């Protein structure tokens, strides 16, 4: 029996997002947390590496050995669990249960060929419909064939191997070419014509570069693996309403706020802005952090602007959020500007202790003047910025002024921000002046998001961009890809 390749999910309108070992950019690879985050980010499937312990338990784990050299196959499940931190090597049974709860498919990368039949049997026993079973080892693919698996089989193809020489009667070609400089150039018309002639589907390597991803997602492929599954199919709003989505301190529910990881997760899914807060260090360098002290979001203590850049960069800015981010550092403004350039993204820059002049200088150096807007509780800083240039885009908050006219006149702003408690009845007047409306909301109440969406603001400044996007998709106002 061969897999039924006519099933609708195997002919998607866009490439499926396959979270590589889960959302492994944001959580421990092959952990239940990584799989849950991937589901939250909208992944269609999870790529799961599978081994089998000495006593026959199938587990999600990538390497063949532990750090101390012991082989997974020589350890009982109890011994494996005792040797690893909590969260590592969940059982395949646990992974399947979570997949069913989150309505996510499973892309199995079978490392130990001996467990191939067991993988197929477990998926069938639990009623999983969306699964692809793959391996580098041809013995695993052969074992799946012998087991008459109903799921498509995938052959993972390393660099320098002709995929058409090794695919055999498997249904899916999976080139693992991520370390090549331009692997997308090999995916030409001749390659896809041959795939079509042979009736083969294509799944691609894990890809995290936004420029390469933009080239790959338009090709006739079944799916793309990524450590950042949100990058595969960015959120796109319909032509009649295309709000700009400002991610408050980045995607701060997925990664630690005001870090590069949070910025990647803001830009990768197609959201327009990364909101950041900028301080100046004791030696005059610009760093991104919200609080006046480093206590809350790092392992350090003390006043931010009283520390040198070297002292600030030595801090761990991620462990407070999750052990996975223990290597995360406080980013410099330059690093965030580089990130915005990488994604062709925008920034909302809030001045904290940083003065106007050096911040504006760095923005100009990156030619991002028209991709940034500014605000601060420190009115003098905004006055300084406006004195420096008429070209800076400054935000005005409606709540700070008794009338809309006063909010619109102060500092000649480029946009006005409203909270959910401000008078929305003057939206029409504001728009008539050609100025965008932005609504800020840091909560997670779907009813309030519904109200915001019904108001059709030009911009939203929010803590829960993925929830906002899901509601917009459900209402038919947006889609992925």
Catalytic positions, written as ranges: 248, 290
Alpha carbon distances (Å) from 403 to 271, 409, 456: 31, 10, 22
Give the separation between CA 247 and CA 456, rounded to whole angstroms.
17
Give which of 45, 29, 26 is closest to 204, Cα–Cα.
45
Phi, psi of 262 (to 5 degrees): -65, -30
Are the C-beta atoms of residues 457 and 439 closer than 8 Å to each other? yes
CB atoms within 10 A of CB 412: 12
Query: Could you give the 3-state DSSP secondary structure of residue 18?
Result: strand
- CA neighbor of 343 nearest in space, from 270, 281, 285: 270
Element (H, E) at 326: none
Helix (H) or strand (E) holding 98: helix 92-102
Residue 39: half-sphere exposure toward Cβ, Cα within 13 Å: 16
Separation of alpha carbons 129 and 125, rounded Å: 11
Contact 57, 296 (CB under 8 A): no
- CA-closest candidate to residue 57, choices 83, 93, 87: 93
DSSP codes of every residue in 184-205? GGGS-HHHHHHHHHHT-EEEEE
| Distance from chain centroid for Cα 415 | 28
Q: Which tokens hold the place of 474? A: 């459900």
408-to-238, 247, 412, 426 alpha-carbon distances in Å: 29, 24, 7, 12
List the structure tokens of 371.
């991709």
Phi, psi for 415 (deg, rounded to 5)? -160, 160
- Cα 279 from Cα 354, distance rounded (Å): 4
Please answer whether residues 453 and 475 qualify as being in contact, where contact means their C-beta atoms are separated by less than 8 angstroms.
yes
Contact 398, 375 (CB under 8 A): no
């Amino acid at each position: 029996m061969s897999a039924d390749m006519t099933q609708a999910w195997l002919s998607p309108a866009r490439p499926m997002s396959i979270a590589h070992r889960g959302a492994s950019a944001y959580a421990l690879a092959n952990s239940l947390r990584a799989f849950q985050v991937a589901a939250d980010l909208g992944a269609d499937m999870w790529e799961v590496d599978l081994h089998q312990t000495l006593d026959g338990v199938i587990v999600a784990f990538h390497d063949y050995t532990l750090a101390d050299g012991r082989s997974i196959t020589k350890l009982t499940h109890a011994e494996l669990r005792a040797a690893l931190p909590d969260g590592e090597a969940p059982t395949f049974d646990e992974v399947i249960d979570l997949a069913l709860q989150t309505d996510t498919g499973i892309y199995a990368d079978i490392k130990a060929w001996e467990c191939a039949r067991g993988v197929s049997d477990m998926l069938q026993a639990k009623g999983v419909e969306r699964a692809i079973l793959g391996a580098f080892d041809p013995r695993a693919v052969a074992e799946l064939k012998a087991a008459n698996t109903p799921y498509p089989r995938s052959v993972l193809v390393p660099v320098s191997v002709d995929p058409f020489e090794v695919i055999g009667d498997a249904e899916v070609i999976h080139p693992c070419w991520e370390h090549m400089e331009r692997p997308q150039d090999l995916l030409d018309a001749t390659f896809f014509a041959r795939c079509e002639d042979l009736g083969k589907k294509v799944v691609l390597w894990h890809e995290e570069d936004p420029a390469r991803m933009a080239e790959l997602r338009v090709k006739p492929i079944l799916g793309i693996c990524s450590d950042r599954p949100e990058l595969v199919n960015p959120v796109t709003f319909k032509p009649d309403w295309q709000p700009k989505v400002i991610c408050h301190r980045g995607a701060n529910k997925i990664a630690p706020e005001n870090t590069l990881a949070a910025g990647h997760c803001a830009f990768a899914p197609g959201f327009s802005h990364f909101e950041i807060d900028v301080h100046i260090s004791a030696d005059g360098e610009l760093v991104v952090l919200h609080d006046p002290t480093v206590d809350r979001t790092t392992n350090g203590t003390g006043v931010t602007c009283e520390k040198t850049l070297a002292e600030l960069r030595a801090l761990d800015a991620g462990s407070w959020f999750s052990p996975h981010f223990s290597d995360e550092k406080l980013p410099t403004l330059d690093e965030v500007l580089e990130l915005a350039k990488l994604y062709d993204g925008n920034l909302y820059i809030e001045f904290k202790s940083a003065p106007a002049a050096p911040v504006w200088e760095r923005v100009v150096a990156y030619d991002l003047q028209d991709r940034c807007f500014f605000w601060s509780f420190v009115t003098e800083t905004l006055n300084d910025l406006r004195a420096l240039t008429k070209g800076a885009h400054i935000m005005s908050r409606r709540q700070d002024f008794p009338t809309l006219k006063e909010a619109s006149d102060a500092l000649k702003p480029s946009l006005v921000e409203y909270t959910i408690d401000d008078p929305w009845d003057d939206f029409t007047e504001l728009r008539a002046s050609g100025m965008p409306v932005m609504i800020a909301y840091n909560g997670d109440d779907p009813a309030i998001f519904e109200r915001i969406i019904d108001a059709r603001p030009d911009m939203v400044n929010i803590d829960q961009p993925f929830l906002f996007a899901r509601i917009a998709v459900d209402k038919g106002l947006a889609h992925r890809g």
